[in-house]
Copies of this chain bind each other. A is one copy, B any other.
């Protein structure tokens, strides 16, 4: 089949040439004398990306799901109470993991398309006078619905109430794309994966831990070995790992971090905002709605588009892939059949965004959703032209 796969799912994202080249290396000795020289600066740079001065960023050979587990098991004890809200498939799965690991979850059910329910969080935490809730979890960017939540506000609630719970944030589809600042927001555990903003293959769970979180390890009694922070931290301090690290991916991470810094994190975030907004303008030009219920929830990394009544989004996604080699995200669980998702994160430029829209327009029309040809592309073009960064 000529041409290429057009990858616009919300992760894995498009891998930059530079990263591919950086990873295309022979294998190496992970105990070679000069290995720490390449690893130590990487840890420092990851801290800048997560926005923490005193914490540490762990690199596990795992997926982001492993990162969730690492964050929980290193800092909590069996039976600990956890506050979380479910407003999409990924917040659901993290809650489910908590339960399996033996934590007691206060789960607030929210409409899918909304984000963290601040008032309910405040109410639950205010009622928790004895501070039995040890962990407050937030899915920063709910990948299933294209909803971004306000982490700073959650921190404000905790601070207002003087509540000592640790703050856990799933930043898998936000870190490296949307502004993220562990220290300013008082995030204690921040979880990322390699295959989103870091523009790498799946295979690294990247977990930021605040000083307070690292202190919590000492008393946390959940069983852990593979994901143990202590072993990892002790070895990381010298530039080593307690078991064979995924060196090839780490080479790629070095390069993707270089790329983020070369562009400049504020520019990276601004670019994601522009591309997110361009996609939203296209959706609006098509006469369709996004899943996110309110502009404050709009995600700059993924847009879930509601298909009209009578259209099955499963067929839209299948047709896009089969007919145009265009990979869109499907609807998951509650929104299965109702939404398709356009991922607009990672290594993207303006023309790539337009190509996703052009392919989606053809797909929609093929599937009977008679959007005006070129309408989404035109809306996005004009927005992108108006907001072009200074050369």
Report which A residues bind B (CB closer than 8 A): 1-7, 9, 11-17, 20-21, 23-33, 60-66, 68-69, 78, 97, 100-102, 193, 195, 201-203, 222-228, 242-249, 259, 263, 268, 271, 318, 321-327, 329-330, 347-352, 354-355, 358-359, 361-362, 365-366, 372-379, 381-382, 384-385, 388, 391
Q: Is the CB of A248 within 8 A of B64?
A: no
A385 and B365 contact, Cβ closer than 8 Å, known pairs A21-B21, A374-B375:
yes
Q: Report the separation of the CA atoms of residues A78 and B78 in the bound assembly, to the nearest whole angstrom.
A: 13
A3-B352, A4-B347, A351-B358 known; 4 new pairs, CB 8 Å cut-off, are A7-B26, A12-B29, A352-B355, A354-B355
Q: Is the CB of B352 within 8 A of A4?
A: yes
What are 17 A-B contacts with C-beta separation under 8 Å? Answer: A2-B268, A3-B350, A4-B347, A6-B351, A12-B247, A27-B201, A61-B61, A61-B202, A61-B203, A97-B225, A195-B244, A201-B248, A324-B351, A325-B351, A354-B355, A373-B382, A374-B374
Using Cβ atoms and an 8 Å threshold, which residues of chain B touch A3? 347-352
Smallest CB-CB A-B distances: 6 pairs: A3-B349, A374-B378, A374-B374, A373-B378, A355-B355, A201-B248
Q: Is the CB of B377 within 8 A of A245?
A: no
Using Cβ atoms and an 8 Å threshold, which residues of chain B touch A28? 5, 7, 12, 327
Q: Is the CB of B203 within 8 A of A248?
A: yes
Q: Report the separation of the CA atoms of residues A359 and B3 in the bound assembly, to the nearest whole angstrom.
A: 18
Q: Is the CB of A381 within 8 A of B362?
A: yes
Query: What residue in chain B is nearest A362 (Cβ atoms)?
Result: B381
Q: Is the CB of A14 within 8 A of B26?
A: yes
Q: Is the CB of B350 within 8 A of A226?
A: no
Using Cβ atoms and an 8 Å threshold, which residues of chain B touch A24? 20-21, 23-24
Query: What residue in chain B is nearest A366 (Cβ atoms)?
Result: B385
Using Cβ atoms and an 8 Å threshold, which residues of chain B touch A68? 226
Q: Is the CB of A246 within 8 A of B63?
A: yes
User: Among B202, B355, B385, which residue has its beta carbon within 8 angstroms of that of A351?
Assistant: B355
A361 and B381 contact, Cβ closer than 8 Å, known pairs A244-B11, A351-B6:
yes
User: Among B60, B225, B227, B263, which residue has its beta carbon within 8 angstroms of that of A2?
Assistant: B263
Q: Report the separation of the CA atoms of residues A327 and B30 in the bound assembly, to the nearest whole angstrom.
A: 10
- Distance (whole angstroms) from the CB of A201 to the closest CB of chain B: 4
- Distance (whole angstroms) from the CB of A167 to the closest CB of chain B: 21
Q: Is the CB of A243 within 8 A of B29?
A: no
Q: Is the CB of B385 within 8 A of A381?
A: no
Query: What residue in chain B is nearest A350 (Cβ atoms)?
Result: B324
User: Among B5, B203, B330, which residue has its beta carbon within 8 angstroms of that of A246?
Assistant: B203
Using Cβ atoms and an 8 Å threshold, which residues of chain B touch A268? 2
Using Cβ atoms and an 8 Å threshold, which residues of chain B touch A373? 374, 377-379, 381-382
- Distance (whole angstroms) from the CB of A5 to the closest CB of chain B: 7
Q: Is the CB of B31 within 8 A of A102?
A: no
Q: Is the CB of A351 within 8 A of B347?
A: no
